[in-house]
Protein backbone atom coordinates (compact mmCIF):
# COMPACT_ATOMS: atom_id res chain seq x y z
CA UNK A 1 0.00 0.00 0.00
CA UNK A 2 2.88 2.35 0.80
CA UNK A 3 4.37 1.73 -2.66
CA UNK A 4 1.08 2.66 -4.31
CA UNK A 5 0.84 5.84 -2.23
CA UNK A 6 4.38 6.81 -3.25
CA UNK A 7 3.57 6.24 -6.92
CA UNK A 8 0.32 8.20 -6.73
CA UNK A 9 2.14 11.05 -4.97
CA UNK A 10 4.86 11.10 -7.63
CA UNK A 11 2.22 11.01 -10.33
CA UNK A 12 0.40 13.99 -8.85
CA UNK A 13 3.67 15.94 -8.59
CA UNK A 14 4.52 14.98 -12.16
CA UNK A 15 1.08 16.18 -13.28
CA UNK A 16 1.62 19.58 -11.72
CA UNK A 17 5.27 20.26 -12.56
CA UNK A 18 6.02 18.63 -15.93
CA UNK A 19 4.73 20.34 -19.06
CA UNK A 20 3.76 17.34 -21.16
CA UNK A 21 2.21 19.40 -23.95
CA UNK A 22 5.52 20.97 -25.03
CA UNK A 23 7.70 17.84 -24.93
CA UNK A 24 8.17 16.31 -28.38
CA UNK A 25 10.04 13.36 -26.89
CA UNK A 26 7.19 12.42 -24.54
CA UNK A 27 4.63 12.73 -27.35
CA UNK A 28 6.77 10.53 -29.61
CA UNK A 29 6.85 7.84 -26.93
CA UNK A 30 3.11 8.15 -26.31
CA UNK A 31 2.30 7.68 -29.97
CA UNK A 32 4.34 4.48 -30.33
CA UNK A 33 2.64 1.83 -28.21
CA UNK A 34 4.46 -1.15 -29.78
CA UNK A 35 7.89 -0.39 -28.30
CA UNK A 36 6.35 0.65 -24.98
CA UNK A 37 4.42 -2.61 -24.61
CA UNK A 38 7.51 -4.58 -25.69
CA UNK A 39 9.58 -2.85 -23.01
CA UNK A 40 6.85 -3.63 -20.50
CA UNK A 41 6.76 -7.32 -21.47
CA UNK A 42 10.55 -7.59 -21.16
CA UNK A 43 10.43 -5.79 -17.82
CA UNK A 44 7.78 -8.19 -16.54
CA UNK A 45 9.81 -11.21 -17.61
CA UNK A 46 12.93 -9.82 -15.93
CA UNK A 47 11.29 -9.85 -12.48
CA UNK A 48 9.31 -6.62 -13.00
CA UNK A 49 12.10 -4.07 -13.18
CA UNK A 50 9.71 -1.25 -14.13
CA UNK A 51 6.50 -1.12 -12.09
CA UNK A 52 3.27 -1.49 -14.12
CA UNK A 53 1.98 1.75 -12.66
CA UNK A 54 4.58 3.65 -14.69
CA UNK A 55 3.00 2.28 -17.85
CA UNK A 56 -0.43 3.27 -16.56
CA UNK A 57 0.91 6.80 -16.18
CA UNK A 58 2.26 6.59 -19.73
CA UNK A 59 -1.19 5.66 -20.98
CA UNK A 60 -2.88 8.44 -19.05
CA UNK A 61 -0.51 11.22 -19.99
CA UNK A 62 1.15 10.39 -23.29
CA UNK A 63 -1.01 8.01 -25.28
CA UNK A 64 -3.08 10.48 -27.25
CA UNK A 65 -6.27 9.24 -28.82
CA UNK A 66 -6.13 5.86 -27.14
CA UNK A 67 -8.39 4.28 -24.54
CA UNK A 68 -6.92 4.10 -21.02
CA UNK A 69 -9.09 1.15 -20.02
CA UNK A 70 -7.94 -0.83 -23.06
CA UNK A 71 -4.30 0.01 -22.30
CA UNK A 72 -4.65 -1.15 -18.69
CA UNK A 73 -6.39 -4.34 -19.86
CA UNK A 74 -3.56 -4.95 -22.33
CA UNK A 75 -0.99 -4.32 -19.59
CA UNK A 76 -2.79 -6.90 -17.44
CA UNK A 77 -2.80 -9.46 -20.26
CA UNK A 78 0.90 -8.84 -20.93
CA UNK A 79 1.70 -9.21 -17.24
CA UNK A 80 -0.29 -12.44 -17.02
CA UNK A 81 1.46 -13.78 -20.14
CA UNK A 82 4.86 -12.86 -18.70
CA UNK A 83 3.97 -14.71 -15.49
CA UNK A 84 2.97 -17.79 -17.50
CA UNK A 85 6.19 -17.58 -19.52
CA UNK A 86 8.32 -17.38 -16.38
CA UNK A 87 6.34 -20.26 -14.83
CA UNK A 88 7.27 -22.46 -17.78
CA UNK A 89 10.85 -21.22 -17.65
CA UNK A 90 10.87 -22.29 -13.99
CA UNK A 91 9.63 -25.74 -15.01
CA UNK A 92 12.51 -25.95 -17.48
CA UNK A 93 14.95 -24.58 -14.87
CA UNK A 94 13.95 -27.47 -12.58
CA UNK A 95 15.92 -29.84 -14.81
CA UNK A 96 19.18 -27.89 -14.85
CA UNK A 97 22.36 -28.56 -12.95
CA UNK A 98 22.12 -25.20 -11.18
CA UNK A 99 18.68 -26.02 -9.83
CA UNK A 100 19.82 -29.43 -8.57
CA UNK A 101 22.64 -27.71 -6.70
CA UNK A 102 20.31 -25.08 -5.21
CA UNK A 103 17.78 -27.74 -4.30
CA UNK A 104 20.34 -29.90 -2.54
CA UNK A 105 21.71 -27.08 -0.39
CA UNK A 106 18.89 -24.55 -0.06
CA UNK A 107 15.49 -25.46 -1.45
CA UNK A 108 14.76 -29.02 -0.33
CA UNK A 109 13.44 -27.87 3.05
CA UNK A 110 11.29 -25.18 1.42
CA UNK A 111 9.69 -27.21 -1.38
CA UNK A 112 7.04 -28.67 0.90
CA UNK A 113 6.11 -25.19 2.08
CA UNK A 114 5.81 -24.03 -1.54
CA UNK A 115 3.34 -26.82 -2.23
CA UNK A 116 1.28 -26.03 0.85
CA UNK A 117 1.42 -22.22 0.83
CA UNK A 118 2.36 -21.55 -2.78
CA UNK A 119 -1.15 -20.54 -3.74
CA UNK A 120 -1.20 -17.84 -1.08
CA UNK A 121 2.26 -16.62 -2.09
CA UNK A 122 1.17 -16.54 -5.71
CA UNK A 123 -1.97 -14.57 -4.85
CA UNK A 124 -0.03 -12.05 -2.77
CA UNK A 125 2.53 -11.58 -5.55
CA UNK A 126 -0.25 -11.15 -8.11
CA UNK A 127 -2.04 -8.37 -6.22
CA UNK A 128 0.88 -6.55 -4.57
CA UNK A 129 4.20 -5.09 -5.76
CA UNK A 130 6.05 -8.31 -4.85
CA UNK A 131 8.05 -9.64 -7.82
CA UNK A 132 5.23 -11.51 -9.56
CA UNK A 133 7.39 -13.02 -12.31
CA UNK A 134 9.93 -14.23 -9.79
CA UNK A 135 7.26 -16.00 -7.78
CA UNK A 136 5.82 -17.50 -10.98
CA UNK A 137 9.27 -18.83 -11.89
CA UNK A 138 9.68 -20.28 -8.40
CA UNK A 139 6.28 -21.97 -8.61
CA UNK A 140 7.24 -23.47 -11.97
CA UNK A 141 10.57 -24.71 -10.65
CA UNK A 142 8.90 -26.63 -7.81
CA UNK A 143 6.30 -27.99 -10.27
CA UNK A 144 3.35 -26.28 -8.61
CA UNK A 145 0.20 -27.69 -10.29
CA UNK A 146 -0.60 -25.88 -13.54
CA UNK A 147 -4.36 -25.77 -13.01
CA UNK A 148 -3.98 -24.07 -9.62
CA UNK A 149 -1.33 -21.73 -11.00
CA UNK A 150 -3.50 -20.57 -13.91
CA UNK A 151 -6.51 -20.07 -11.66
CA UNK A 152 -4.72 -18.18 -8.87
CA UNK A 153 -2.79 -15.92 -11.22
CA UNK A 154 -6.05 -14.63 -12.68
CA UNK A 155 -6.04 -12.42 -9.58
CA UNK A 156 -3.39 -10.39 -11.44
CA UNK A 157 -6.28 -8.82 -13.36
CA UNK A 158 -7.80 -7.67 -10.06
CA UNK A 159 -4.62 -5.77 -9.25
CA UNK A 160 -4.64 -4.00 -12.59
CA UNK A 161 -8.30 -3.07 -12.23
CA UNK A 162 -7.79 -1.59 -8.76
CA UNK A 163 -4.45 0.10 -9.44
CA UNK A 164 -5.67 1.36 -12.83
CA UNK A 165 -8.70 2.94 -11.19
CA UNK A 166 -6.57 4.55 -8.47
CA UNK A 167 -4.13 5.96 -11.05
CA UNK A 168 -7.03 7.28 -13.11
CA UNK A 169 -8.56 8.98 -10.08
CA UNK A 170 -5.15 10.45 -9.18
CA UNK A 171 -4.90 11.93 -12.67
CA UNK A 172 -8.06 13.93 -11.97
CA UNK A 173 -6.58 15.65 -8.91
Q: Round to whole Å and give the CA distance between 83 and 46.
A: 10
User: Range of 71's domain?
Assistant: 2-13+23-171
The answer to whether residue 105 is domain-embedded is yes
CB atoms within 10 A of CB 110: 12
Q: Are 60 and 167 in contact (CB under 8 A)?
A: yes
**Is residue 55 one of the residues assigned to a domain?**
yes
CA proximity to 163, closest of 133, 115, 126: 126
As a whole number, the mean pLDDT across the chain is 82
Report if residue 18 sits inside a domain. no
The stretch 108-113 carries a mean pLDDT of: 77
Q: Count up the domains in the chain and report the number.
A: 1
Segment 77-109, tens digit of pLDDT: 999 999 999 999 988 987 888 877 877 777 777
Amino acid sequence: MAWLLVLVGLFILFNHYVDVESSEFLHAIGNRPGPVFTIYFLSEIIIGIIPPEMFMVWSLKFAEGRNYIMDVALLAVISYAAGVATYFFGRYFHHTLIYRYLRRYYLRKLEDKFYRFGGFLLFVAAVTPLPYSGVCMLMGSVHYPKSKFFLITLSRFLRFAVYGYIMWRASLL
